[in-house]
Structure 1
Amino acid sequence: MIFRKAEKEDFYKIRSLYWNLINQEQDDPSFPHWKKGIHPSDEMIQNSIDREELYVLADGDEIAACVIANDEKVDGYADAPWQIDSDEVIILHVLAVHPDYRGKGLARRLVENVIEQERKAGKKALRLDVIENNTTAEKLYQKLGFRYIQTKTLYYDVVGEMTFKLYELVL
């Protein structure tokens, strides 16, 4: 399994990973309500690849897991009681593990690699939000050292207003 930045040729494999996950998980109440072609959109995936913000775990020619790491945040982040008051912060988005690779610790491995990458880049913290009832994701982030900050209603175009739990890892 190789950790690397996504490349242009990975686009369709990454989109397929998200779509397979949506097909399999859309009826699970803890699934974050992603929608094919809407979130993550083709434009979001392509732009993240172009800006070198999309990371993957590749198994040969297959993309087993991916995540976007950048500084884009929703308005609700501004007044959260974060531990670090800095612009040198990265937000994790749309972390996904292909259904065929579930249960192998790939989400953990992917996030650990991103933590190391961003630490080396001089970032001060990683932040993220988890849909309120996604306890599996919360347990993963807590094991990785992320600290619960606040439960908050956030607005995302794809789902509207929903309750999320905010987490932060000081690097």
Structure 2
Amino acid sequence: MATVRWARADEADQVLDFYTRMIDGMRGTEFDVCWEHDVHPTRAFLRASTEAGEVLVVEAPGTGADGPRFAAALVLDAEGDPGYDQVRWQVDAAPDEVLVVHVLATLPQFHGRGYARQLLEGAIAAAREAGAKALRLDTFTTNGRAQGLYESCGFANCGVYEDFYPHLGRGGVLYEFAL
């Protein structure tokens, strides 16, 4: 059975390795998330998030030679991406009443096992525990698989923003879960 838990600060290298393997493993496939090494997400963001206790992981059954095998991960923090202030959110909440999911990903060899759903459920529980009013996230307009997951987990589509990721040249779909 897989375990959902917070990555420890001393696991920053494993978190970085997870995202490197995920980007490499999905590049050029039908599930390519179009992320770029050290552009999105950056190593500095992932390391700082891990050290701050903001990375939620799914630890797959069994242990790798270098420690736990992370099958899926996300970052949960209070930092909305640039442009979040332009979105017509459904929940009226101050910035300190919102948590945001970033860089939700599952390694290709673990697709179809429900790990991304488990992570979202963990993020929802953590946001409730923190007293947040809403949990928000975004994804590329081209990422239909993620959009389907978010909607099946109860996230409301709050709109499409065509130039939401100018540094990547992509549009975004914004989602919100009322807590």
TM-score (norm: length of structure 2):
0.87
1:64 aligned residue: 71
Q: Which moved more, 1:116-125 or 1:18-27?
A: 18-27
- After superposition, the C-alpha distances for 1:124-166 in whole angstroms (9 at most, x for unaligned) are 1111111001111001000100001110021354x1x421111
1:31 match:
32
Distance 1:46 1:2, change over 3 A: same
Q: Which residue in the other structure is 1:125 paired with? A: 134
Q: CA deviation at 1:30?
A: 5.8
- Distance in 2 separating the partners of 1:130 and 1:155: 10
2:86 alignment partner, SS class: coil
Q: CA offset at residue 29 of structure 1?
A: 6.5
Aligned twin of 2:171: 163
Number of positions where the alignment pairs a residue of Structure 1 with one of Structure 2: 169
TM-score after normalising by structure 1 = 0.91
- Are residue 83 (structure 1) and residue 90 (structure 2) matched? yes
Aligned partners of 1:156 and 1:66: how far apart in 2? 24
Unaligned runs of 5+ in 1: none
SS at structure 1 position matched to 2:175: strand
Alignment partners' CA distance in 1, 2:81 and 2:130: 23
| Partner Cα distance (1:6, 1:156) in 2 | 30
CA RMSD of aligned residues (A): 1.6
The residue aligned with 2:4 is 3
**Is the Cα contact below 8 Å between 1:30 and 1:133 reproduced in 2?**
no
Q: Deviations over 1:46-103 (max 9, x none)?
A: 1001211111111242111110011112331112110112121111110111222111
Larger mean Cα displacement after TM superposition, 19-28 or 111-120: 19-28
Corresponding residue for residue 102 of structure 2? 93
Give the AA of the match of 2:120. Answer: V
